[in-house]
Amino acid sequence: MAAWVVSECGFRPLPKLYPNPRTRTPISNFPNSINPSSSKILRPNFPALKVSAPASVQILDHDQDEQLPNGFNVQASGFDPGAPPPFTLADIRAAIPKHCWVKDPWRSMGYVFRDVAVVFGLAAVAAYFNNMVVWPLYWFAQGTMFWALFVLGHDCGHGSFSNNAKLNSVAGHFLHSSILVPYHPWRISHRTHHQNHGHVENDESWHPLTEKMYRGLDIATRMLRFTLPFPLLAYPIYLWGRSPGKKGSHFHPDSDLFLPNERKDVITSTVCWSAMVALLVGLSFVMGPLQVLKLYGIPYIGFVMWLDLVTYLHHHGHEDKLPWYRGKEWSYLRGGLTTLDRDYGWINNIHHDIGTHVIHHLFPQIPHYHLVEATEALKPVIGKYYREPKKSLPLPFHLLGVLARSMKKDHYVSDEGDVVYYQTDPKLSGGSNQ
């Protein structure tokens, strides 16, 4: 049952219509859209719109958007978020200042040194005072810093940390292994997510359940999948077992996640991960297991909750329903435009502006310290396809409400149709299908 908690964190079995992940196109050959130096621009040839509900609707004079059967949604303004955009990736790229593409390894390493110093400083302060007033503050702060380390390692995986592949690999292993993330396996599965963002079947992170799959769940599993805080604890389970019906894991070199030539990378990262586990076990004998739990274990849980919260909300929970795609209706650009920016208040700087997610999905090689500026350049080009995030207080408590509302209404998508929207199970939500 626990595995169903992460049914949107990874793959479910791909239909025969889609290629086997082990024979996917290498990232170096993936859309030129993510290569700013490329002279060949991806210009999708969009076919006629094929949706799971009427594509032409009468816009009623209501304050809220009008939703039709199968989740199809047209905003009250008349804007259709599932329509092919009138601009291309080349248009967006041309608007981004050239210096935003420049990667500064010294600056990147400066962030690493800063974050590592804060991590050790927080641990020293908490251990020195060692009282129940300080510990809860420490757990929240350190869990957030673990998440910041993850984001820097995530940049290494994208190559936005530096142009030096060896530096990216060394820094990525150090950062990710320290928080029990296998660097290369996660880098590869996250690459699959970026290559297929917004695709119902092929996306790797938080993709929807189809109605048939959803209806096949027992009541207890549905409650577990959509009841907080359980979805916020999904990440370690996903690393080990992936999703139901999918073999392998991030720790096994023969998993369907990986190509044969990636086997050595997977083994290397698993060894580094195992070394970190051994270090924690050794510290438990030296310091005592309770102290290791307080200094590392509880912050690790906080980090996992940050990771699941952020990755989920970058693809769910907007006031207007956003499309998911299948077949020929999906493209790299249209999938990327379904992602969302989020404002995290004071946390924005701490976790390296990962909330500027739309531009990151379209061009993941832009360094995190240029994402805000690049986003400002993107907005005039994509217009209504950009959803301005709600401004946060110093701490982003408002996002907990967004998460709770999404869990109540974003349950499944139609089994048919190439442009689909989330639908609601009224029995689970306790209300009408809306």
pLDDT digit string (tens) for 362-410?
999 999 999 999 999 999 999 999 999 999 999 999 999 999 999 999 9
pLDDT bracket for residue 427 (50, 70, 90)? confident
pLDDT score at 344: 97
Structural domain tally of the chain? 1
The residue whose two tokens read 């996250």 is: 190
**pLDDT reading at 322 higher than 80:** yes
- pLDDT band per the 50, 70, 90 thresholds, residue 161: very high
In a 10 Å sphere around its CB, with 0-12 CB exposed, 13-18 middle and 19+ buried, how is residue 63 labelled?
A: exposed
Q: For residues 189 and 242, what is the distance between their CA atoms, to the nearest angstrom?
A: 11
> Would you call the peptide bond into 289 cis, given omega within 30 degrees of 0 as the criterion?
no
Neighbours of 330 (CB within 10 A): 23
> In terms of pLDDT, which residue wins out, 420 or 206?
420
pLDDT at 349 over 90: yes
Decide if 251 is inside a domain.
yes
What pLDDT band is residue 71 in, cutting at 50, 70 and 90? low
Whether residue 414 lies inside any domain: the answer is yes
The whole-number pLDDT of residue 118 equals 98
Q: Report if residue 94 sits inside a domain.
A: yes
Evaluate whether residue 206 is within a structural domain. yes
- The answer, yes or no, to whether residue 47 has pLDDT greater than 90, is no
Tell whether 434 is covered by a domain: no
Within-domain flag for 14: yes
Classify the phi-psi angles of 154: left when phi > 0, otherwise alpha if psi is within -120 to 50, otherwise beta.
alpha
Evaluate whether residue 257 is within a structural domain: yes
CA distances to 139, 309, 330, 434 from 233, rounded to whole Å, are 16, 9, 30, 27
DSSP 69: G
Task: Please name every residue paired with 31 in a beta bridge, in sequence order, or none if there are none.
Answer: none
| pLDDT computed for residue 333 by the predictor | 96
At residue 280, the pLDDT reads 98
pLDDT digits (tens, 9 = 90+) for 88-120: 999 999 999 999 999 999 999 999 999 999 999
The domain in which residue 44 lies consists of 2-429
Pair 315, 358: CB distance under 8 Å:
no
Residue 254: which pLDDT band, with cuts at 50, 70 and 90?
Answer: confident
Mean pLDDT over 316-331 rounds to 93
Query: Taking the CA atoms of the chain, what radius of gyration do you get in angstroms?
Result: 21
Res 15 pLDDT > 80:
no
> pLDDT at position 35, please?
45
Quick one: average pLDDT of 409-432? Answer: 86
> Residues 145, 295: contact at Cβ < 8 Å?
no
- At position 129, the amino acid (one-letter code) is F
The answer to whether residue 54 scores a pLDDT higher than 80 is no
Q: Tell me the pLDDT tens digit for each residue of 198-243.
A: 999 888 888 888 999 888 888 887 888 888 999 899 899 889 877 6
Q: Write out pLDDT tens, residues 26-46.
A: 433 344 444 443 433 343 443
Q: Is this structure's pTM higher than 0.95? A: no
pLDDT at position 10 is 38
**Minimum mean pLDDT among 66-70, 98-102, 125-129, 344-348: which range?**
66-70
- Output the pLDDT for position 246: 56
pLDDT at residue 72, as a whole number: 57
Which residues fall within 8 angstroms of residue 232, CB to CB, at 6 or more apart?
304, 305, 308, 309
Higher pLDDT, 213 or 335: 335
Contact 73, 81 (CB under 8 A): yes
Residue 247: its pLDDT value, please?
Answer: 66
- Flag whether 397 is in a domain: yes
The Cα 333–Cα 196 span in angstroms is 10
Q: What would the pLDDT profile of 110-151 be if each residue is shown by its tens digit?
A: 999 999 999 999 999 999 999 999 999 999 999 999 999 999
